Amino acid sequence: MEQQNKDKRLYQQISQRLQKLSKLAAHNEDKDLVKEMSKKGIDRRDFMKWAGMMTATLALPASFAPLTAKAAQIANRIPVIWLHMAECTGCSESLLRTEDPSIDSVIFDYINLEYHETIMAASGYQAEQNLKNAIEKHKGNYILMVEGGIPQGTEYFLTIGADGRTGAQECRDAAEGAAAIFAIGTCSSFGGVQAAYPNPSNAKPLSKIINKPIINVPGCPPSEKNIIGNVMYFIMFGTLPAVDAYNRPTWAYGHRIHDLCERRGHFDAGEFVQEFGDENAKNGYCLYKVGCKGPYTFNNCSKLRFNSHTSWPIQAGHGCIGCSEPNFWDTMSPFEEPIGNRLFHTSYDGIGADKTANTIGTTILAATAVGIAAHAVISSFVKKEDEQ
């Protein structure tokens, strides 16, 4: 009963906020999300199904789905400024696939994207001016999304635009008037590939460049749902979500890959792929011995998947490489070998798989897994010694 009352209050609170936001001017008044979707062959039923799925992803009660749908429909009221730093643009690509547009990519198209270098027509001085105008016009109201790592110290390792301003300066200026700031991708969240050893440009995460609360949305790239989900959350709540020790929203990064993995039964049964292409690989066995880092990685990939829910790394037959964890290029590689008992820090500050499983395992199966994981580690070492 108490929970019901709490949910009721929350429902009212979100409804009121959406009501207020819907009165704000939209940047594309003539556009309607449902119509935009139908142009791409997505009907209202698909949209409501999406709303139901996104509601569950955000860990809200199923009855909140109409609110999520409403939030998507008024997403064109919230201005978004998206900056590119040092990265591969994979995070934007995760959203911007035009051949088979997902509902998330249509919403991304529909939001009030005031500035995004990859997709805007302006360039040079005009682009710089657009950025300044957007910051000025929407002061205090816009969402700032930053993709990429940022050189610190010698900031001139990364200069942007006709004025040759440093990436760090662009971030500091844009952060000042932002209502919410999201570091999109592992590069912006933790430094990413350019911060990998020996980090020649001294690339840093956004959180080391600016002095404001930041929500990290890591993954190399993050799924489109984790990006859009954060926008939905902010529209619905107007606050930042609950986060873990690395400032990742717990609704997206609250569980280990290993605990949500469809191959977990094989792990628990001690059934492992020994090498890529073997009979066990064809049978879909666990990829731990060929380097899967799922036991050390927090993300919701198996639930949300990529490319319009088509697949995800482990389904495709390769282990997780730990792409949503800090310093994964250094700590998780070699990617096709188990970590074994190398010193390793996860969100739980653990040491290796056994410690992690011990710390957060909640079932008897997890206890079994500890034994099997230890076994897997030992056998991989024995095998290595045999080979020498």
**Distance separating alpha carbons of residues 245 and 360, to the nearest angstrom:** 15
What is the DSSP secondary-structure string of 319-347? ----TTSTTHHHHS-STTS--TT-----T
Angle at 127 between CA 114 and CA 108, to 5 degrees: 30
At 243 the three-state DSSP class reads strand
Residue among 201 and 302 whose Cβ is closer to ligand F3S: 302
**Residue 312 near which of ligand F3S, ligand SF4, ligand FSX, none (CB within 5-8 Å, type-dependent):** ligand F3S
| Residues in region 236-265 near ligand F3S by CB under 6 A | 257
Burial per residue of 338-369, b for 16 or more beta-carbon CB atoms within 10 angstroms, e otherwise: bbeeeebebbbebebbbbbbbebbeeeebebb
CA dist list (Å): 338 to 120, 308, 361: 43, 30, 20
CA dist list (Å): 222 to 30, 234, 346: 31, 18, 19
Residue entry with tokens 């999109």? 184
Given 69, 257, 332, 366, the residue binding ligand SF4 (CB under 6 A): 257
| Residues in region 173-232 near ligand FSX by CB under 6 A | 185-188, 192-193, 220-221
Per-residue string for binding with ligand FSX, 325-354, x by CB under 6 A? ------------------------------
Is residue 267 at the binding interface for ligand SF4, with CB under 6 A as the rule? yes
**Distance separating alpha carbons of residues 377 and 289, to the nearest angstrom:** 8
Given 15, 38, 89, 341, the residue binding ligand FSX (CB under 6 A): 89
| Residues in region 289-308 near ligand SF4 by CB under 6 A | 292, 294-295
Residue among 240 and 287 whose Cβ is closer to ligand SF4: 287
74 and 140 in contact (C-beta within 8 Å)? no
Cis check: omega of the bond before 205, within 30 degrees of 0: no
User: Do you know the residue count of the chain?
Assistant: 388
What is the DSSP secondary-structure string of 103-163? HHHHHHHHSEEEEETTT-S--HHHHHHHHHHHHHHTTTTEEEEEESBEE-SSGGGSEETTT
Residue among 168 and 320 whose Cβ is closer to ligand F3S: 320
Residue among 74 and 214 whose Cβ is closer to ligand FSX: 214
**Residue 101 near which of ligand F3S, ligand SF4, ligand FSX, none (CB within 5-8 Å, type-dependent):** none
**Cα Rg for the chain, rounded, in angstroms?**
22
Given 57, 92, 280, 324, the residue binding ligand F3S (CB under 6 A): 324
Is residue 323 at the binding interface for ligand F3S, with CB under 6 A as the rule? yes
Residue among 249 and 294 whose Cβ is closer to ligand SF4: 294
- Binding residue per annotation — 171? no
Quote the least distance from Cβ 111 to ligand SF4, whole Å: 33
Q: Tell me which stretch binds ligand F3S (CB under 6 A): 36-44, 79-87, 226-234, 306-314.
A: 306-314
Per-residue string for binding with ligand F3S, 274-303, x by CB under 6 A? -----------------------x-x-x--
**Distance separating alpha carbons of residues 125 and 229, to the nearest angstrom:** 33
Q: Which residues here bind ligand FSX, judged by CB under 6 A? A: 87-91, 147-148, 185-188, 192-193, 220-221
Q: Which residues here bind ligand F3S, judged by CB under 6 A? A: 219, 257, 297, 299, 301, 312-314, 320-321, 323-324
Q: Which residues here bind ligand SF4, judged by CB under 6 A? A: 257-258, 261, 263-264, 267, 286-288, 292, 294-295, 314, 319-320
Binding-site sequence positions for [4Fe-4S] cluster: 88, 91, 187, 220, 258, 261, 286, 292
